[in-house]
Structure 1
Amino acid sequence: MKRNWFDEKRKRFSALGGYQKPDIHQDALKLDSNENYVISKQFQNDIILSGRKNSDVREYPLGGVERLIQMISKFVNIPSSMIGVGNGSDQILDLILSNFASKQTRILTSKPTFGFFEERCKLYSIPLMAIPFLDNMKLDITEFLKQSKNADILYLDSPNNPTGFQFSKNDLQKLVESFEGLVIIDEAYGEFGDYSLAKRVKTQENLIVVQTLSKSFGLAGLRLGYFIANKNFAETFMNILQYPYPLSTITIESAILALEKSNIMKNATSQIKAERKRVIETLRKYDTFEVFDSKANFVLFDAHGAYKRVYSALIEQSISIRKLGKIGNHEGCLRVTIGTKEMNSKFLLAIRDLLG
């Protein structure tokens, strides 16, 4: 009997599991997905309404991507020839992996790293060499420099998700400069960190920096990511690898308007950084928790054996955070998004009532 190759392949894909999205808790305070609620819903409504007025969705968005790239170019102060876009930064990473990596490609990253990237490597049977975080949720730069000699691609999310860790700029630059293969730096949370390597693409041909409007601009639902790289890669990606129309007209027009008002994003980012400091300092007052430093818009903490009880108690109070469990030698990790001051206060009050 002829082998059913299609079903065999489907079974292999099914066994992978796929990227795990957070649970849905109706009417809960949503602090589980690193979304930006400091950007007001009114701001989003205004730009989307204006975007709709500028759109005719009966037509393909011919020329729209090019106009958007020009606006991104002004925002990041990088030539438009070095910029490409995607349907979220996820899609950009997926296209790079599916076209530039194979079963023989060795990728060096951290453990943990962005879950989608890990799952995509499994899907394409790409081997990962993952260096685990230390007990203080920091990475050993010496170990990365040592292992980089055996890798073809270096991928780091900087700051890291889910730990919030970011190498010092000097350490990361040393690692990137010494690496001879392809370097992908995922800066999805870059605006909340200490620095960006985006300008390095002007002098480093093998560097791709991936960014997004999902976090800093609060536009996760529009699905818009972009990258900065040498112009030869950007041209090949956009003209050959990328879909002819990767973004909807509404996304394009809304994103252009958002970028025109980038001062709103910068103000929101400053507020989130200040609130992040408050959340970290408050959580560290409880002996129950080990709280890790963060350069992202979330805070990771280890509640040890109490983590399931803390998570469930918060759900009972309609507060949803991310239950991660084991990371390295830490068995009870939880991650909370930094929301508005009111949202953060509600979370901290619930923790006080639970543990105080």
Structure 2
Amino acid sequence: MKKNWLDEQIQKFSSLGGYVKPELHTDVLKLDSNENYVMPKQFQNDIITHAKKNSDIRGYPLGDVERLIESISKFSQVPPDMIGVGNGSDQILDLLLSNFASKQTKVLTSKPTFGFFEERCKLYSIPLISIPFSDDMKLDIDEFSKNSESADILYLDSPNNPTGFQFPKNKLQKLIKSFEGLVIIDEAYGEFGDYSLSNMVKTQKNLIVARTLSKSFGLAGLRLGYFIANQKLTDVFMKVLQYPYPLSTITIESGIIALEKSKLMQDTAEEIKRERKRIIDTLKKYDVFDVFDSKANFVLFDAHDSYKRVYSALVEQRIAIRKLGRIGNHEGCLRVTIGTKEMNSKFLLAIRDLLR
């Protein structure tokens, strides 16, 4: 009987599939995972060198998480007791879902939304109410608000991945204030958007704002996420729900020194915004594409029935972007990450040559 039970569990999980990562290509211009390659390589070298000098990995990082939280507090301008950390923001989302939601909990989100969050809801058998985007990749907040009446948890990635959409700030604030359940706003791409709602946590006890250093600081490989919430929720999360040592010593030390160089990050984010506009404006010149506005460090566009050909042609030229396919009524969606000016120019030149 026990063997049959185990087989059934494995079969159940196998049928879910899990989060789909981008295709692996070697020796390519990597514009497929929304990583921040605009942050200088020297920045990475400096913080890792600093971390190595200030670390002894033979011991557990006792007390070091608290030092990191102090640095995040200074950066985000919120008290330390309102900050929690995790092994990437996806680990934080996972712990929130596995502990605050159940098969009886209804989660309201958009369609599409962050794929990992959606797959985690499937894993835990959490019912999802998904509001689809319009054909121009915008979300109707009135429709969203109407459906919130039957939901227990509201989750929005703002800006959204993969569309790049971000609600007008005042409308999203109004929605949050009117919602009585738990609200999770995922600001993984917040530094590239128009605003952050982190200060709203000071007055909204049901609000959690998840953030990360992966995109803004170009530290995706370190797996360093954090969230901002009321003191009671943060206290329970860090003392009870979170692992005793969720971050490595190297990650903690690297995060601390990176946050001291936030001005470099902010300048880089502004450069990405300028390059994002260049890519959007250039792609819109081609009649074969539907191009959607973005507030993130990527651009979504529909290449219609030629999207597989465009994707493959770019790979042949050693340029990797993300092949997404159908989103709503758009059947051929592709997503390109905003890289350095040189990387973006290579992508745009390849597109130009392909469409000649």
Q: TM-score range by the shorter chain?
A: over 0.9
How far apart, CA to CA, are the structure 1 residues paired with 2:6 and 2:239? 31
1:89-100 equivalences under 5 Å are 89-100=89-100
1:231-242 equivalences under 5 Å are 231-242=231-242
1:47-58 equivalences under 5 Å are 47-58=47-58
Aligned equivalent of 1:259: 259
Question: Shift of residue 239 of structure 1?
Answer: 0.4
Aligned equivalent of 2:311: 311
How far apart, CA to CA, are the structure 2 residues paired with 1:11 and 1:87? 28
Specify the SS of the correspondent of 1:278.
helix
Residues 2 and 205 of structure 1, relative CA distance in 2, 3 Å threshold:
closer
Aligned equivalent of 1:8: 8
Residues 254 and 2 of structure 1, relative CA distance in 2, 3 Å threshold:
closer
CA deviations 1:163-190 (Å, max 9, x no partner) are: 0000000111111111110000000000
Residues 2 and 345 of structure 1, relative CA distance in 2, 3 Å threshold:
closer
How far apart, CA to CA, are the structure 2 residues paired with 1:180 and 1:64? 35
Specify the SS of the correspondent of 1:150.
coil
How far apart, CA to CA, are the structure 1 residues paired with 2:308 and 2:57? 46
Question: Shift of residue 218 of structure 1?
Answer: 0.1
| Superposition RMSD in Å | 0.7
How far apart, CA to CA, are the structure 1 residues paired with 2:216 and 2:229? 21
Specify the SS of the correspondent of 1:129.
strand
1:16-35 equivalences under 5 Å are 16-35=16-35
Question: Shift of residue 6 of structure 1?
Answer: 1.5
Aligned equivalent of 2:44: 44
Aligned equivalent of 2:291: 291
CA deviations 1:216-272 (Å, max 9, x no partner) are: 000000000000000000000000000000000000000000000101100100000
Aligned equivalent of 2:279: 279
Aligned equivalent of 1:125: 125
How far apart, CA to CA, are the structure 2 residues paired with 1:263 and 1:202? 25
Question: Shift of residue 3 of structure 1?
Answer: 6.0
How far apart, CA to CA, are the structure 1 residues paired with 2:188 and 2:334? 20
How far apart, CA to CA, are the structure 1 residues paired with 2:129 and 2:237? 26
Q: What amino acid is the match of 1:112?
A: P
Q: What amino acid is the match of 1:291?
A: V
CA deviations 1:32-54 (Å, max 9, x no partner) are: 00000010111101101110110
Identity %: 77
Specify the SS of the correspondent of 2:149.
helix
Q: What amino acid is the match of 1:263?
A: K
How far apart, CA to CA, are the structure 2 residues paired with 1:144 and 1:287? 32
How far apart, CA to CA, are the structure 2 residues paired with 1:167 and 1:284? 22
Q: Which runs of 5+ in 2 are unaligned?
A: none
Aligned equivalent of 1:177: 177
Aligned equivalent of 1:156: 156
Number of positions where the alignment pairs a residue of Structure 1 with one of Structure 2: 356
State TM-score, norm by structure 2: 0.99
Query: Moved runs in structure 1, 4+ residues, more than 4 A?
Result: none
Question: Shift of residue 321 of structure 1?
Answer: 0.1
